[in-house]
Amino acid sequence: MSKSLTNQTNNALQQVIATKLARAVFAGFEAMFAQFLNITLGAQSRFEQQKYHDVQTAMRERLQVYEREVKNVSEAVRVIAYAELSCPQTWQLAKNIYGDMVQNHENKPIAHTFFNSTFGAIWDDKKIRTVHLFVLKAKYRSEPRSYENLVRRISFKDGFNHAVKTLITRQAFRVPFSHLDADLQALQTTLMAGAKQQCKQVYELINLNDGFIEYANSLFFRNKACYLIGRCIAKNGDNMPFAIAILNTNKGLKLDAVMMGADQLSLLFGFARTYFMVDTDQPARYVDYLSVLMPHKKRFELFNAIGFIKHAKTEFYRYKVDTTKNSPTNFKYVAAPGTPGMVMLVFTTEGLDYVYKVIKDKFSAPKTATKAQVKAKYNFVKQADRVGRLVDTHEFRYLAFDLSRFSDELLKQMKAQIGSSMVISGKALILKHVYVERKMTPLNLYINHCSNKALQQVMTDYGKAIKDLAGANIFPGDMLMKNFGVTRWGRVVFYDFDEICPLTDCHFRDVPSAQNDQEELSANSYFDIAENDIFPSQFKVFFSANETAFNYFNCEHNDLFLADFWQACQQQIKSGFLPDVYPYKQSWRFK
């Protein structure tokens, strides 16, 4: 056989295999999306039946869909590709074919990410060139599209109150409202007052029976509530976004609160909250709409909020690359502010709202955990109901950085502490495994420069954070203030997970009384201590450096120093009780 004929045969074979690879990945993407949507479709029914434990189960199941399908497709691809599995040219061809297949797909950006995930799962730690991935090129970045088919509008022509009533009564539920007229009056009054304060144009047109209400067709479900998202719009385009919280009580449905303006909505879509379930097969368009309501929110934050956490990572990487390119060259990565961790090396850069956390090669005493155990803790948090008190994390493998952006001091520190987790290749520094978290002010630093009033508020919220976590069956482990952060809203959130565990795994005890002076003065423990024994009375040591802070905390939360409190929490959890956790201030709730 001639050489040219052999080449033709090889090219034809490569085309066939690449086509099959592309088709297999596309079939996997469609299967993943269908499973994701099927779980989401049950959200309203679970809400109406008050099956809140099923809500949490469904959330965990949905988180597993993506990885499971990537694994299934990877196994199929290994069979299909056979000898060509590690052939870069075959994968490049498969990528081009796949790109054509999804070119006009409604969810093209998420389909691109699924291809990237499959490719990464197969190539793993081999050198991955971006030419094989749908990431940075402009043609892979979707432009905002029309969301007209996702929203409906109600004119103010028959009066604002009529429009608000129509907005609520259009929502279809199996459960009736218990006191709809009173709820509507509270909603109408609050929206009017909010417009007067936040958007004068909307307020003026409300009084002139002009303008309209726009709302999303799909409800947003999370935990025990559902949310109706939309905005009041004036003719000139001025608008006031809103989110109406609806609860299902033993007496029926009730309107519980309304959040108004982009800042208040950002609380609802915050980084310490569980993901929404939104009944839509057009998630990217919903992100486009949410971006209009909350223009300060990044796209990756919004994809994350509605459960598309893998694509959120793709969007974050683009954001990271863009911000690096657009920032001054003297903006260097440096060690993050706060007390250096025993388990993690943490770094950030000026102007960035995020920190990077890498597990150290060797942990400082007295930490004895392994890297695998720390990863398991972070995975536990990913699956948990974060109740607004656990920062969300993105886990990356082989994340590349511009080497020139690292300060000499940080680079030296990294080589000494995380040398096995990093690779320097040309002008790039590559981290084999890294977590990305939202940057916050460490609580131990915050209390040193805040006002006395702010100190009292933050210490009160610190105790509330611990209690909220306890109600969600989460024990932080190490409750030192350096492991908690303060958000721009003054809210306290936990971010150090290496000792976190289910509350029901702990054994809370009072310190036994000493039998005599010799036991009392002994340097060694005079009683047996098991690995999971915890003594709440010793928590007071967390405040040893700040007496004022302790006094404020103790005034509101001295029950946290009693074993009885924690044991009672455990009994509630074992009985199936789920506490109410609201993603908005109590003062915003309707009376």
Catalytic residues: 392
Please give the Cα distance from 173 to 564 (Å, whole number). 41
Pair 444, 480: CB distance under 8 Å: yes
Beta-carbon-side half-sphere exposure of residue 4 (alpha carbons within 13 Å): 0
What value, to the nearest 5°, has the Cα angle with vertex 197 and ends 196 and 203? Answer: 20
Give the number of other Cβ atoms within 10 Å of residue 67's Cβ: 13
Please give the Cα distance from 217 to 228 (Å, whole number). 9
Residue 428 φ then ψ, to 5°: -115, 145
Q: Which helix (H) or strand (E) holds 356?
A: strand 354-359
Query: Tokens representing 505?
Result: 């795994």
Pair 532, 506: CB distance under 8 Å: yes
Please give the distance of CA 91 from its chain centroid, rounded to a whole number. Answer: 32
Give the number of other Cβ atoms within 10 Å of residue 278's Cβ: 22
Pair 280, 221: CB distance under 8 Å: no
Give the number of other Cβ atoms within 10 Å of residue 406's Cβ: 20
Please give the Cα distance from 417 to 394 (Å, whole number). 21
Q: Tell me, what amino acid is at 96? A: N
Q: 212-216 and 225-233: which strand pairing? A: antiparallel
Pair 261, 241: CB distance under 8 Å: yes
Residue 231 φ then ψ, to 5°: -160, 155
Please give the Cα distance from 591 to 586 (Å, whole number). 10
Cis upstream peptide for 88 (omega within 30°): no
Please give the Cα distance from 510 to 346 (Å, whole number). 36
Q: Tell me, what amino acid is at 326? A: N
Instruction: Round the CA-based radius of gyration of the chain to a whole number and report it.
Output: 27
Residue in this structure with the two tokens 């309707």, named with its chain if needed: 590
What is the 8-class DSSP label of residue 506? Answer: -
Pair 432, 357: CB distance under 8 Å: no
Please give the distance of CA 57 from its chain centroid, rounded to a whole number. Answer: 17
Please give the Cα distance from 15 to 96 (Å, whole number). 11
